[in-house]
Amino acid sequence: MHHRHLKRERCNRYRPALLFTTFSIVQLALHLLALVDSPDLRLLMPHLVAWTHDLLLLSIVLICCRLALSGLPSKLRSRTELVTLPIIAITILPLSLYPQMLREYLSFPINIFSATPASTSALLTSYLGLSRLFPLIAASASLLLAMLMPPLPIWHERLKRPLSALWTIIIATGLLTLSRSPHPVVNSLKEELSSALWHERREVPELHPATQWPDSAPLSSSSVSSLNGTLRAGHVYLIVLEGVSSDQFEKTLSAKRSVFLGRIAKHARYFDRYYTTNLDSYTSLIAMLTSEQVPYRAYTDTGLYENVNRAPNLVRSFNAAGFHTLFISTYDDQPFIPVRHEWSSIMHRQDLPAWKTWVSVESSRMESATEDRAALSTIAALPRQHDRTFILHELAYGHTTEWRAKTGIPQLAYYDTYLNELLELLMGQATWQKSLLVIVSDHGDRASAESTGSYRVPLLIVGPGVEPGRDHALRSHLDLQHIIASVMTSRNIPQPREDAILVGSTGRWIYGLIDAGGNHLMVDDHSGKVLASRGGINPLVVQDRFQKIINHFSRRFDPKRQ
């Protein structure tokens, strides 16, 4: 009896080591599989460093658990460990999901502790897809096996010293690389700890859900431009670049370096103080088409603003003017289509001929797409079927860095080729003289939401009869449909804005304002801190104005009022 008790005690002593070893092997395998799936040697070190931080996190948890239980009697400690180890195993299981997303995380780091139930649901259903939960299943099976498998004390004793030495090296590496960690949990913990340790008084109050207003409150209507009368173009192409700031566009696609811009310079007008409203694609597209500012992060809860898609919009105006309207995307599935019910037709990659002959990316459900040039033949053919067409092509190339890794082609170099080929097709079938190209970016760098440079995006209007030059007035996505209407109808262009409201990305709740003089202020709602400012703008005034925008938007589009 005593012998069995000693044997059980010794086996239980080895279970944490067996759990640690199993987790180490499984996580390393997942990191290496992610690296092989997206062959980019630049990701080798981030994956390896992140793996050391996986082990560092588990080591901290196991050590804290051991210290907490050290004061208990031997028999009680042994039984308690049998309960706590499965709990620890379940706690670390979510770490198996992130290796496949490490590339995207490095491009767009977020604080995972700021996630909401709605954004988590969107991540699992729309972004990852259920098939991407396989690592979680594999890790669960492996850790369960480790918990049930009888330990091998003799084998462990022989390897105790070399394994301890290896563990020391790995943990030391993890500690030395903490300052520049590529690990989403480590970075989020650092941000939360920093906020707690250096807690300071908020500079602005926290935003709150929209105030409930009486049903009798008057509601203003959306501003929409009419396309009645003689129009200067019968075919309008709205080409939406992915995540390109004006700084990038102006530096890379200058007339000297761009074949496309060199060809159309005499028929192009560039807007150099044009701003996005949001740093998320969906809400930016909504602003372009409806002239409505969505004062929310796009993917936290789409139900807060989905009804804005029913507002008067540019697509409805084109439909009323006799245009065939098409939304086209080379994504396998695009769940976030602005004013979805207004389009004459919607096309995804499965609707395109011979799309399988083009380069594709399949890193996740949301990123599954074929390169944008696969849609050009379909876009160019539409004018042969309809006298008037309005086409919005939301480009996919560049949405993930895997495109560059797979093709070796920089994003803007690819766009230059795409635009040049589109121009060739339009000229080749004599459509060019009746065409208008509107080239705009949805937003800039989502990872730098505190910088106003991330919100300044290119707008280039190209076509026969377009007055060449530059427009230096402050404008935003809210003006786009009016700018297009003014070019189409020869009406005066909209008056410049006095200021523009800016909303950050889903990853971080940041908002702010920039005025016509370049003065600006950006606020982090989580901490209540002013992240960037110029010109002495009062942060309390900006917060109050933004809160009123939320209230007003909710009064008009809250689904509870419909």
> Between 339 and 85, whose confidence is greater?
339
> Same domain for 287 and 152?
no
**136 and 247 part of one domain:** no
Q: 65 near 27, Cβ under 8 Å?
A: no
| Distance from C-alpha of 555 to C-alpha of 544, rounded to nearest angstrom | 17
In a domain? residue 450: yes
Query: Is residue 203 one of the residues assigned to a domain?
Result: no
Give tens-digit pLDDT for 4-44.
544 455 555 567 777 788 888 999 999 998 888 776 777 88
Question: Amino acid identity of 295?
Answer: P
Mean pLDDT, the chain, rounded, equals: 86
pLDDT over 60 (residue 182)? yes
**Dist CA 363 CA 399 (whole Å):** 11
Structure tokens at 476: 């935003």
Residue 113 predicted with pLDDT over 90 = no
pLDDT band with cut points at 50, 70 and 90 for residue 141: confident
**178 and 30 fall within a common domain:** yes
For residue 96, tell me if it sits in a domain.
yes
Instruction: Spell 362-375 as b/e; 16+ CB within 10 A means b.
Output: ebbbbbbbbbbbbb
Q: Which range among 224-233, 302-311, 498-507 shows the weakest confidence by mean pLDDT?
A: 224-233
The gap between the terminal CA atoms of the chain, to the nearest Å, is: 73
* Tens digits of residue pLDDT in 193-212: 877 766 668 899 999 988 65
Residue at which a domain ends, from 140, 174, 197? 197
The CA distance from 418 to 163, in Å, is: 54
* pLDDT at res. 198: 61
pLDDT score, position 73: 75
**Among candidate residues 180, 197, 214, the one where a domain is terminated:** 197
311, 434: one domain = yes
For residue 122, pLDDT beyond 70: no
Q: Is the model's pLDDT at 53 over the cut of 50?
A: yes
Q: What percent of the chain has pLDDT over 70?
A: 85
Q: What is the pLDDT of residues 425-439, one digit of tens each?
A: 999 888 999 999 999
DSSP per position, 193-241: HHHHHT----SSPPP-SPPP--TTS--PPPP-----S--S-SEEEEEEE
Q: Indicate whether 398 and 520 sit together in one domain.
A: yes
Instruction: Supply the pTM of this predicted model.
Output: 0.81
Q: Is 69 or 212 the better-scoring residue by pLDDT?
A: 69
Say how far apart CA 454 and CA 245 lie, in whole Å. 6
User: Is residue 240 assigned to a domain?
Assistant: yes
Distance separating alpha carbons of residues 59 and 13, to the nearest angstrom? 15
Structure tokens at 405: 């890794």
CA distance 187 to 208: 27
Q: Which tens digit of pLDDT belongs to each residue from 159-170?
A: 677 878 888 898
Contact 35, 48 (CB under 8 A): no
Please check whether residues 120 and 255 belong to one and the same domain: no
Give the end of a domain, one of 197, 226, 250. Answer: 197
Same domain, 53 and 141: yes
In the beta sheet, which residues pair with residue 393? 239, 328
Domain that holds residue 475: 235-561
Residue 437 lies in a domain: yes
Q: What is the mean pLDDT of residues 395-400?
A: 91
Which residue did the predictor score with more confidence, 195 or 440?
440
For residues 75-101, give the mean pLDDT.
Answer: 78
**Residue 336 DSSP symbol:** -
Question: Considering the domain boundaries, does residue 553 fall inside one?
Answer: yes
Instruction: Dump pLDDT digits (tens) for 354-372.
Output: 888 999 988 676 788 999 9
**What average pLDDT does this structure show over 495-524?**
94
In a domain, 59, yes or no: yes
Spacing of C-alpha 211 from chain mean position = 29
pLDDT band at 81 (very low <50, low <70, confident <90, very high): low
Tokens standing for residue 505: 């990305």
Q: Is 154 in the same domain as 251?
A: no
In a domain, 255, yes or no: yes
Instruction: State the total domains in the chain.
Output: 2
Of 110-114, 318-322, 444-448, which gets the smallest average pLDDT?
Answer: 110-114
Query: In terms of domains, do 182 and 246 share one?
Result: no
Distance from CA of residue 203 to its chain's centroid? 28
Helix 134-148 × helix 2-37 angle, to 10°: 160
Query: In whole angstroms, what is the distance from residue 452 CA to residue 455 CA?
Result: 5
Mean pLDDT (whole number) for 230-240 = 94
Separation between Cα atoms, residue 213 and residue 558, nearest integer Å: 11
What pLDDT was estimated at residue 224? 65
Query: What is the band of 350 on the pLDDT scale with cuts at 50, 70, 90?
Result: very high
Q: Which residues pair with 512 in a beta bridge?
A: 502, 522
Listed in sequence order, the residues at least 6 apart from 124 whose beta carbon sits closer than 8 Å to its beta carbon are: 130, 133
Same domain, 416 and 298: yes
Same domain? For 152 and 270 the reply is no
What is the predicted pLDDT for the residue at 429?
86
3-state secondary structure of 523: strand
Q: What span, in angstroms and rounded, lies between the C-alpha atoms of 75 and 1?
A: 15
- Band of residue 150 on the pLDDT scale cut at 50, 70, 90: low
Give per-residue pLDDT as tens, 516-562.
999 999 999 988 999 999 999 999 999 999 999 999 999 999 776 65
Quick one: which of 49, 62, 51 has its CA closest to 89? 62
pLDDT at 219: 42
Q: Are residues 159 and 276 in the same domain?
A: no
Q: What CATH number does residue 285 fall under?
A: 3.40.720.10
User: With bands split at pLDDT 50, 70 and 90, how would you rate the model's confidence at 278?
Assistant: very high
Check the CA dihedral 548-553-554-556 and report its sign: positive
